[in-house]
C-alpha cells in the first residue's frame, strides 16, 4: 500500500471511530477527593456488599502510614482483605498472571488498586483475565475486546500522572516480546476513583515531576488530535492549567498538599480527556523505550513531547495555540504560529525547571528498526494525530532523542 492510500486508510478508520464514539458506553464514575479520603473505602466496600477484597499494590505504597491506617480500619469493620504487593514498576504479563492465581486462591470478589499507574493497570488487566479465564492478555490487546464485566474495582492513585483511574486502558509489558501494549475496553474503567494527596507525599521528587508531565502529555495529545470533543477539550484545558500552575510549586516545596491535591485532579482530567480522544505519537514512540530500556513512562513522555510537537510543525499550530490561550499559558494577541512556538518553549522550559533531561543515551542505532516497528504498530491506524508518522518520521524523532 502506497503512502497516500495508507494515510487515507488511517483517517477513515479514525473518522469512523469518532463518529460512533457518542454511542460508546462511557459511564460516570464515583469520584471522591481530598486528603485522607482513602479512609472512605470501608464504607464503600460495605455499600457494595463485597465480602473479600484483593488489594493490588507494591511493597513501598502498602507501607505508607495512611495505607496502614486504612488496613486497621478495614479490620475494625470486619472487612476481609488479601494483599498482593508484587506489582513491578512496569506491570508485566507474568506479574499479572501471578496476581490472578493469588486472587483465585484467596477467594476474592473485588479489587482495590492502591498505587501508581502500574498498580491500577495491573488490577484492570487482572480483571480482564478473571472475566476471560481462557484468554491471554495478548489476545485482549487493542480496542473493545473485553465485553464482560470485570470484578468491582476501586482505583486509588499514589501518583498524579497516569490518569489510569479514569481510563479504559490497561498498559502491560511483555519482556519476552520486548513489547508494551494497551488493552482498551470500557469494562476496565474503575467503578470508583479516590484521589487522596496523602498518598503522594513520599513520592520521590523526580517521579512527582515526570508523572505530572505524563498527565500534561495526555492533555495535549487529546486536545490536538482530530477526535477531540467539547468534553475532552475542557478536560485538557483544566489539566494543562493546573499542571503549569502547580508542579513547580511542588518541585520547590514537596509538602504543599493543596498543590498535590490539584495535581491529582489534573491527572484525572487528563485521563478523562485521552480516554475519549486518544493519545498520539508521543505515547507510541515512548512505549517502546520502556519495553526495551526500562525508561519510566512519565520520563519517556516528558522528554519526547517537545520533540514531537516541533516535528508536527504547522499541522498542530492552531490547536496548540488554542490550548495555550485557553489554559492561560500564553497571552492572547499573538499569531497561532508564534503562540504554538512559545507554548513548546514553555514545555521545554518546564522540563528544565523540573530537572528533566532532553534525550536518552540508552537508545541504540541497532534497535531503531524494532522501536519504529512497535511505535507504528501502536499509533496507526488508531491515533487521530495531526501528522501520521511513517518509518522516516519515527527515525528522525529517535535520532533527535539520541543527541
> What are the φ and ψ backbone dihedral angles of 82, each rounded to 5 degrees?
-130, 145
| pLDDT tens per residue across span 192-203 | 999 999 999 989
Range of the domain at 278: 3-21+204-402
Same domain, 271 and 163: no
All residues at 6 or more sequence positions from 290 whose CB lies less than 8 Å from its CB, including other chains: 90, 173, 180, 296, 297, 300
Q: Which of 147, 175, 200 is the last residue in one of the domains?
A: 200
Same domain, 317 and 358: yes
Cα pseudo-dihedral 189, 194, 195, 197, rounded to 10: -140
Q: How far apart are the first and last CA of the chain?
A: 33
Same domain, 192 and 213: no
Q: Which of 200, 218, 236 is the last residue in one of the domains?
A: 200
Cell numbers for 206: 523526580
Helix, strand or coil, per DSSP, at residue 200: helix
Q: CA-based angle 153:156:162, to the nearest 5?
A: 100
pLDDT level of residue 62 (50, 70, 90 thresholds): very high
pLDDT for the residue numbered 1: 66
Question: What length is written for the chain?
Answer: 403
In a domain, 358, yes or no: yes
Same domain, 84 and 44: yes
The share of the chain scoring above pLDDT 90, in percent, equals: 95
Same domain, 68 and 213: no
List of E strands, 162-266: 169-174, 179-184, 192-195
Total count of domains within the chain: 2
In a domain, 26, yes or no: no
All residues at 6 or more sequence positions from 71 whose CB lies less than 8 Å from its CB, including other chains: 81
Name the residue among 265, 267, 193, 277 with its Cα closest to residue 232: 277
In a domain, 27, yes or no: no
Mean pLDDT of 110-133: 97
CA atoms within 13 A on the CB side of 392: 1
CATH code of the domain covering residue 314: 1.20.1090.10
Mean pLDDT of 217-227: 98
pLDDT value at 27 more than 90: no
CA dist 285 and 390 (Å) reads 12
Same domain, 341 and 237: yes
How many helices (H) and strands (E) the chain has is answered by 14, 9
pLDDT for the residue numbered 326: 98
pLDDT level of residue 353 (50, 70, 90 thresholds): very high
Q: Which of 200, 221, 243 is the last residue in one of the domains?
A: 200
Q: What are the residues facing 113 on neighbouring strands?
A: 56, 155
CA dist 129 and 183 (Å) reads 11
Same domain, 121 and 191: yes
Mean pLDDT of 52-69: 97
In a domain, 28, yes or no: no
Same domain, 300 and 192: no
pLDDT level of residue 403 (50, 70, 90 thresholds): confident
pLDDT for the residue numbered 154: 98
pLDDT for the residue numbered 103: 98
Same domain, 196 and 247: no
pLDDT value at 238 more than 90: yes
Same domain, 10 and 97: no
The share of the chain scoring above pLDDT 70, in percent, equals: 100
| pLDDT tens per residue across span 28-43 | 899 999 999 999 999 9
Cell numbers for 386: 495531526
pLDDT level of residue 380 (50, 70, 90 thresholds): very high
- Per residue, the 3-state secondary structure of 305-336, as one string, reads HHHHHHHHCHHHHHHHHHHHHHCCCCCCCCCH
pLDDT value at 130 more than 80: yes
Q: Contact at 8 Å (CB) between 103 and 84?
A: yes
pLDDT for the residue numbered 41: 98
Q: Whole-prediction pTM value?
A: 0.96
CA dist 123 and 30 (Å) reads 18
Same domain, 144 and 209: no
CA dist 228 and 225 (Å) reads 6
Same domain, 72 and 176: yes
| pLDDT tens per residue across span 276-287 | 999 999 999 999
CATH code of the domain covering residue 158: 3.40.50.1970
Amino acid at each position: 500500500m502506497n503512502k497516500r492510500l495508507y494515510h487515507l486508510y488511517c483517517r477513515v478508520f479514525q473518522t469512523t471511530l469518532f463518529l460512533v464514539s457518542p454511542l460508546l458506553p462511557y459511564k460516570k464514575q464515583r469520584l471522591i477527593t481530598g486528603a485522607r479520603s482513602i479512609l472512605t473505602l470501608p464504607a464503600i466496600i460495605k455499600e457494595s456488599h463485597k465480602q473479600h477484597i484483593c488489594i493490588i499494590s507494591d511493597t513501598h505504597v502498602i507501607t505508607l502510614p495512611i495505607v496502614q491506617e486504612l488496613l486497621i480500619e478495614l479490620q475494625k469493620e470486619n472487612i476481609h482483605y488479601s494483599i498482593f504487593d508484587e506489582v513491578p514498576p512496569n506491570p508485566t504479563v507474568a506479574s499479572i498472571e501471578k496476581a490472578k492465581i493469588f486472587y483465585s486462591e484467596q477467594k476474592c470478589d473485588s479489587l482495590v488498586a492502591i498505587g501508581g499507574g502500574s498498580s491500577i493497570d495491573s488490577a484492570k488487566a487482572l480483571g480482564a483475565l478473571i472475566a476471560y479465564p481462557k484468554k491471554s492478555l495478548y489476545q485482549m490487546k487493542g480496542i473493545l475486546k473485553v465485553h464482560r464485566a470485570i470484578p468491582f474495582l476501586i482505583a486509588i492513585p499514589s501518583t498524579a500522572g497516569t490518569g489510569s483511574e479514569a481510563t479504559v486502558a490497561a498498559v502491560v509489558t511483555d519482556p519476552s516480546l520486548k513489547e508494551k501494549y494497551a488493552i482498551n475496553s470500557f469494562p476496565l474503567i474503575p467503578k470508583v476513583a479516590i484521589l487522596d494527596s496523602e498518598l503522594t507525599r513520599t513520592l520521590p521528587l523526580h517521579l512527582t515531576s515526570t508523572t505530572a508531565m505524563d498527565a500534561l502529555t495526555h492533555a495535549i495529545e487529546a486536545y490536538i488530535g482530530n477526535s477531540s470533543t467539547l468534553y475532552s477539550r475542557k478536560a485538557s484545558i483544566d489539566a494543562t492549567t493546573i499542571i503549569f500552575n502547580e508542579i513547580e510549586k511542588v518541585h520547590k516545596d514537596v509538602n504543599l498538599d493543596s498543590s498535590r491535591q490539584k495535581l491529582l485532579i489534573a491527572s484525572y482530567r487528563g485521563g478523562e480527556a485521552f480516554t475519549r480522544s486518544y493519545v498520539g505519537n508521543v505515547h507510541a514512540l515512548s512505549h517502546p523505550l520502556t519495553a526495551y530500556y526500562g525508561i519510566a513512562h512519565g520520563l519517556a513522555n516528558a522528554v519526547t513531547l517537545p520533540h514531537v510537537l516541533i516535528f508536527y510543525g504547522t499541522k498542530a499550530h492552531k490547536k496548540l495555540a488554542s490550548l495555550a490561550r485557553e489554559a492561560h499559558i500564553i497571552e492572547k494577541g499573538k499569531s497561532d504560529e508564534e503562540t504554538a512556538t512559545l507554548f513548546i518553549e514553555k514545555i521545554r522550559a518546564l522540563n528544565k525547571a523540573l530537572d528533566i533531561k532532553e534525550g536518552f543515551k540508552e537508545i541504540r542505532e541497532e534497535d531503531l528498526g524494532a522501536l519504529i516497528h512497535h511505535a507504528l504498530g501502536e499509533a496507526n491506524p488508531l491515533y487521530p494525530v495531526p501528522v501520521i508518522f511513517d518509518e522516516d518520521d519515527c527515525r528522525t524523532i529517535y535520532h533527535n532523542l539520541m543527541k
